[in-house]
Amino acid sequence: MSPKKRILLVNTYLTASGGGNLVAAYIIEAIKNKCSISTLSWAPAELDAMNHTFGTSILPSETSVYSAPILLRILVKFIPFLSPIKYAILLRICKKIRCEYDIIIGLNNEADFGFRGIQYIHDPPYWLSTPRNRRQLSVKQKLRFINNLWTVFKGKYRPWMFIAGFSYDRMRKNLTLVNSNWTRKHIATSYGIKSVCVNPPASGFFPNLPWEERENGFVCIGRIIPWKLFEKIIEIINTVRSEIQNVHLHIIGIIDEHRYYQQLLQQVQTSPWISLHTNISKEELIKLIVRHRYGIHAMKNEPFGIAVAEMVRGGCIVFVPPNGGPMEIVGGDIRLLYETTEEAVRKILHVMKSHDEQVSLRTFLDSRKELFSPENFILSIQQIIKQFSK
């Protein structure tokens, strides 16, 4: 029997929040019985919390956990401007210990491990997505130290790339995984490299509650931050209520920006048809999803949108912007895509007033549920690791 492959999984943090950590947890889950796994993160991995939140079952004995040196962590903690270089430091550590592993997998976008590895890119570098910027970048890579420093100052590179002694040539040789076809197109435009789309899993068990037993309301999910555009969602549903009065809205999320949360809270307090749920458990989240007929999302150009996948898996009819990962999750169905408030209201009212349309959309979205299941993600990762190891 051949020895197990030694795999190092690198992520800035391994905690119980965020899509990157969800992906990390299920990659470990996918290969823990087939490979010898180690993790490298800035602080010690929170495996118990990740298991509880994401539904994984990773035992401490199934992975070796490493973190950045304690003195270095203290230094960065008390010097805030060093915070962005955490992943750069981890990549430097990878270069020193690379000979100890057969495969290194990085989950914080582009990575240079010193040799060919696997990189999972969640957020494409938008500033690179024009031919003009690509030409500028290819020239700047050949310039001296001071020119690279000037490039960082102007915000052209992701700063940690420069600090990590980043090689674009080595990065391009990695096997690149992405969270959506939208991200894949941006990566191809930015770097001229091919990538493999592996959608993150929407974890949890979603009971199939009959349509007749669901409430005639909406759920929306996301971190409480301005670019999630909750105020637009409120405006849309408020306008829908002018024709269908019993419609209500549940906003569900983690408070990420306190000032925006306070503004949102003021709106909620004056609107009894809106409920705001913060920092709730996964079980409570799933109960809210499956108890309602509809979902809505408003963030534009989101690379994936795990909340949309959760609502689809929970059996909701979900309305989303016509771009990014959310559009892909709902299969690009024109009936579910909206650009303006007026368009959203018109399409929502059409669906809510048409039983046949509801049946048609539910059947279509039901056919997409398994694309975002943990089982599908695990199988995809196992096949990718197997192919990469050959």
Cβ atoms of 101 and 8 closer than 8 Å: yes
46 Cβ contact partners less than 8 Å away, ≥ 6 residues apart: 14, 15, 16
For residue 53, name the pLDDT band (cuts at 50, 70, 90).
confident
Q: Name the residue ranges covered by the structural domains of the chain.
A: 5-201+374-389, 211-372
Three-state SS at 26: helix
* Span 350-365, average pLDDT: 98
Which residue matches tokens 């609107």?
271
Please say whether the structural domain 211-372 has been given the CATH code 3.40.50.2000: yes
Q: Residue 387 and residue 390: Cα distance in Å, rounded?
A: 5
Q: Do domains 5-201+374-389 and 211-372 have the same CATH topology?
A: yes
Three-state SS at 390: coil
Is the pLDDT score of 128 beyond 80?
A: no
- Please write the tens of the pLDDT for every residue from 143-167: 434 444 444 444 445 555 666 677 8
Q: Residue 122 and residue 110: Cα distance in Å, rounded?
A: 9
- Please write the tens of the pLDDT for every residue from 242-258: 999 999 999 999 888 89
* Span 253-268, average pLDDT: 91
**E-assigned strands of the chain?**
5-10, 35-41, 63-67, 103-106, 118-121, 175-178, 196-197, 215-221, 249-253, 274-278, 292-296, 317-319
In CATH terms, the fold of domain 5-201+374-389 is Rossmann fold (3.40.50)
Per-residue pLDDT at 76: 75
pTM of the model: 0.87
21 Cβ contact partners less than 8 Å away, ≥ 6 residues apart: 11, 13, 14, 15, 50, 54
Per-residue pLDDT at 166: 76
* Number of neighbouring beta carbons within 10 Å of residue 96: 9
